[in-house]
């Protein structure tokens, strides 16, 4: 039951993001201004809430991304993605592409020379169906 509720929640978020992208791409100026005034503050506050739980602790570790056995030094991937999308702007896609290529190259070979290449999961588009999504 929790899996189904989780999928419903994720679908709702993806659909909302799709709707906002569609408005940004297709709406006329008055509609765009109206949506921007109502949604931009909400999106900014959402980012703030996410980033607050990823603020580094006194040791410089992200308390959310770290586990008992593996500490994640700041900036964690959440802060890196926030910077890429909120600050770097147009460079974010280029940086993501370089990071993905580097990960593929690193995973393709290990120290003992064996090939451990795996395909990376596809990026979600936000248009998800509840049926057929199990196992992801």
Phi-psi region of 60 (alpha: psi -120 to 50; beta: other; left: phi over 0): left
Asked if residue 11 lies in contact with residue 130, where contact means CB atoms within 8 angstroms, the answer is yes
Rounded Cα–Cα distance for residues 18 and 129 (Å): 14
pTM above 0.85, yes or no: no
DSSP secondary structure string for all residues of 42-72: HHHHHHHHHHHTT---TTSB-TTT--SS---
Per-domain residue ranges of the chain:
1-52, 59-112
For 32-81, how does the pLDDT look when each residue is reduced to its tens digit (9 = 90+)? 999 999 999 999 999 999 999 999 999 999 999 999 999 999 999 999 99
Question: Model confidence over 43-54: pLDDT tens digits?
Answer: 999 999 999 999
Cα 2 from chain centroid (whole Å):
22
């Amino acid at each position: 039951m929790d899996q189904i509720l989780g999928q419903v929640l994720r679908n709702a978020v993806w659909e909302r993001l799709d709707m906002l992208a569609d408005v940004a791409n297709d709406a006329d100026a008055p509609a765009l201004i109206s949506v921007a005034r109502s949604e931009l503050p909400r999106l900014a506050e959402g980012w703030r809430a996410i980033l607050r739980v990823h603020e580094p602790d006194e040791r410089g570790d992200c308390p959310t991304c770290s586990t008992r056995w593996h500490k994640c030094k700041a900036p964690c991937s959440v802060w890196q993605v926030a910077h890429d999308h909120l600050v770097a702007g147009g460079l974010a896609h280029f940086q993501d592409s370089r990071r993905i290529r580097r990960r593929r190259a690193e995973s393709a070979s290990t120290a003992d020379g064996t090939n451990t290449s795996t395909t990376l999961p596809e990026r979600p588009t936000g248009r998800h169906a509840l049926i057929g999504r199990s196992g992801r």
